[in-house]
Amino acid sequence: MLKFLFPPNGRLLQTCIFCCIISFLNLFFQSYSTFYTNTAAENIQKYINDSYLERGQKISENYLLWFWNSILNLPFLGFLLSNLLAPYFCESFGRRATLIYTNVASFISALLTTISVIYLIPELFLISRVFGSAVTNINFCAFTLFATVLDTD
């Protein structure tokens, strides 16, 4: 039925594109429920507005909406795109090293998020959320590979 997609008779590029599309669609629901619906909308909008007022800048409702939507949606893109990086990191650095590095990176992301909330820096909050979602997903992929391919020797 799908023989036209798979090598050696098929086309490798089309197969890779097809697999990437399926992978992204498969992760959409997990990412959506993780990053979008669990967000305290009013508190984040107040945080963004208060941080700019503290700097002496008044922002428009349009800018607030765009920035708030960026905080909600960009971590989702980081999560999806990190699926393309996870195999590279696991093969280049090893599964165990990738787990250690991404755990340290997750801790750094949590520190940056905390600093951004304390010092009212919403741009840092956005960056730390994207970075945190990406390294957390790479960590999850590395852990899955690490746990399924354990040596029993």
Q: What is the DSSP string of 6-51?
A: STTTS-HHHHHHHHHHHHHHHHHHHHHHHHTTT--HHHHHHHHHHH
Does residue 81 fall inside a structural domain? yes
Q: How far apart are CA 28 and CA 83, in angstroms?
A: 12
Domain encompassing residue 110:
41-148
25-44 residue pLDDT tens: 777 766 666 666 556 778 88
Does residue 94 fall inside a structural domain? yes
Band the pLDDT of 15: cuts 50, 70, 90: confident
Does residue 52 fall inside a structural domain? yes
Does residue 34 fall inside a structural domain? no
Number of domains present in the structure of the chain: 1
pLDDT at 47 over 80: yes
> What's the pTM value of the predicted model, to 2 decimals?
0.75
Does residue 112 fall inside a structural domain? yes
Does residue 153 fall inside a structural domain? no
Estimate to the nearest angstrom the gap between the alpha carbon of 143 and the chain centroid.
16
